[in-house]
Structure 1
Amino acid sequence: MNTLILNKEISEKMLSFFKKEYKIILTKEIKSISTPLKFHPDIQIAQIDDDTFVCEPTVFEYYKSVLKDKNIIMGETYLQSNYPRDIAYNIIRVGNKCLCNLKYTDKKILENINCKMININQGYAKCSICQVDDNSVITSDDGIEKVCKENRIDVLKIEKSQIELKPYDYGFIGGASLKLNKDEILFFGDITKHSDYHNIKEFCDKKNIKIKYFDFENLIDFGSGFSIY
């Protein structure tokens, strides 16, 4: 059974679905982070390969205890609520490439990761990028789109907003999605209501990626998650 790391504040209805098919690990609160983000997986832990994670020091013992068969490394950066002091672990691997804001990425990630590092100005890398496959992504960020094209990553640019992250004006497509396995993406809410759904569906179809979603919720940024398989 695959394991999912999910936001502790995910809805009970969503959680009940996941529990039918997956072992669930819920995130632990980071008290120094602002309320909307303090349980977000993409804020507090980074996956640098299939078996290795780097996490914020205050949640290290927790993840070490719940991921006993994985290599859990304690990061050096204690997160704070103000940007960019909350982005040290917000990276995303896309195949053999890693996108992040290198200036603020935790040192332990840079020391232990083994792939091509690509710098982006947007610090919320995993929040802002929905991974489709090992060389394809979806984003609403102009800068990320440009960098992806420069590095031969196939990218679909979509409209901003239309994703909830209260009390902010909107959330991001990466935070509202989760790569379940090599063949499936799940969206935390009804992606069909997004104005770019047709383009998203067409893009995923071309990559032979199946879309799953919850039709009983608006699209919500829960800080993505991690599927361990």
Structure 2
Amino acid sequence: MILLDEAARHLKASLKDMDTVVLTPRLSQVYAGINGHADLLVHKLDDSTLAVAAECTDFFKNLGLHYNVMPIEGIASPYPGHVQLNIAVFGKWVIHNMKVTPEPVRAFYERQGYHFIHVAQGYTKCNLVVGRRSLITSDVGIYRTLKDIAPILLVESEHVALKGFNYGFLGGASGLINDTLVFAGSLERHPSYARIVKFLDRQGESWTQLQGPLVDVGTLIQI
């Protein structure tokens, strides 16, 4: 199942051959324009547990999936109150602004033996394309923190659309679906296109792109 912001429902037809697509609810306490972004509403802890914004608990329970649902209270704007679940996980690394990581989430990962990497950027997942073997970001701080830990590419920013904002992030315009990186729009419109393709190919990443402009949809999350 792929979670998709209703504001990006134009992508539903392109994604339906990959998996069932479900449009997300909206968080009333979060800024309009991003209040349906999946990477603010839910974080998949493992194959049996979802951490979700408490307001959306019933929505996720009613999907009929096998997940245990861990409600997280207090997800609300202004920033950084709404980025508590905007967490990136790569291998055994949990990457986030640890000042806002919910304690139940931190405790869960500690029990599983994960390591934590603190970054200043609260929109961590938004600003990280997370592949099976590599990462891409436009955030210099994230890049400097991770460059000696994982294969990561630093790209230009401000070339991803996000309605109501000056720009979005490439991480939010992507998602790992069936072990393939899917970009929500044409990468060819991004000035770092050639470098991105060369990097992904070198890392052995399987990837594809949808038609139209690159849009930050709040990450294409498959659960």
TM bucket, shorter chain: over 0.9
Deviation at 1:82, TM superposition (A): 0.8
Is 1:122 aligned to 2:121, yes or no? yes
Once the two structures are superposed, what CA deviation does each residue of 1:34-72 show, in whole Å capped at 9, x if it has no partner? 111100000111112232210110001111121531121
Q: Structure 2-normalised TM-score?
A: 0.94
Contact 1:178 1:225 in 2 (8 A): yes
| Aligned equivalent of 1:170 | 167
Task: Give me the whole-angstrom Cα distance separating, in 2, the residues matched to 1:193 and 1:6.
Answer: 22
| Aligned equivalent of 1:219 | 214
- Mean Cα displacement is larger for which, 79-88 or 32-41? 79-88
| Aligned equivalent of 1:55 | 52
Once the two structures are superposed, what CA deviation does each residue of 1:176-211 show, in whole Å capped at 9, x if it has no partner? 1011132x1111111111110111101111122222
Is 1:40 aligned to 2:32, yes or no? no
Task: Give me the whole-angstrom Cα distance separating, in 2, the residues matched to 1:23 and 1:144.
Answer: 32
- The correspondence of residues 92-171 of structure 1 with structure 2, limited to 5 A, is 92-113=88-109, 114=112, 115-134=114-133, 136-150=134-148, 152-171=149-168
Alpha-carbon distance change, 40 to 46 in structure 1, aligned in 2, over 3 angstroms? same
Identity rate, percent: 26
Alpha-carbon distance change, 190 to 132 in structure 1, aligned in 2, over 3 angstroms? same
- The correspondence of residues 50-89 of structure 1 with structure 2, limited to 5 A, is 50-75=47-72, 77-89=73-85
Task: Give me the whole-angstrom Cα distance separating, in 1, the residues matched to 2:125 and 2:47.
Answer: 16
Q: Structure 1-normalised TM-score?
A: 0.91
| Aligned equivalent of 2:25 | 28
Contact 2:14 2:210 in 1 (8 A): no
2:131 corresponds to which letter in structure 1? V
Aligned Cα root-mean-square deviation (Å): 1.3
- Structure 2 residues not aligned, in runs of 5+: none
Query: Which 4+ stretches in 1 moved above 6 angstroms?
Result: none
Q: How many residues align?
A: 220
Task: Give me the whole-angstrom Cα distance separating, in 1, the residues matched to 2:34 and 2:46.
Answer: 24
1:180 corresponds to which letter in structure 2? I
Alpha-carbon distance change, 67 to 5 in structure 1, aligned in 2, over 3 angstroms? farther
Contact 1:120 1:147 in 2 (8 A): yes
2:201 corresponds to which letter in structure 1? D
Contact 1:177 1:224 in 2 (8 A): yes
1:27 corresponds to which letter in structure 2? T
Task: Give me the whole-angstrom Cα distance separating, in 2, the residues matched to 1:143 and 1:181.
Answer: 29
1:225 corresponds to which letter in structure 2? L
- Structure 1 residues not aligned, in runs of 5+: none
1:32 corresponds to which letter in structure 2? Q
Task: Give me the whole-angstrom Cα distance separating, in 1, the residues matched to 2:177 and 2:203.
Answer: 15
Once the two structures are superposed, what CA deviation does each residue of 1:82-131 show, in whole Å capped at 9, x if it has no partner? 11111111101111111001111112211212311111100011100001
- Mean Cα displacement is larger for which, 26-35 or 111-120? 111-120
Deviation at 1:162, TM superposition (A): 0.7
2:215 corresponds to which letter in structure 1? I
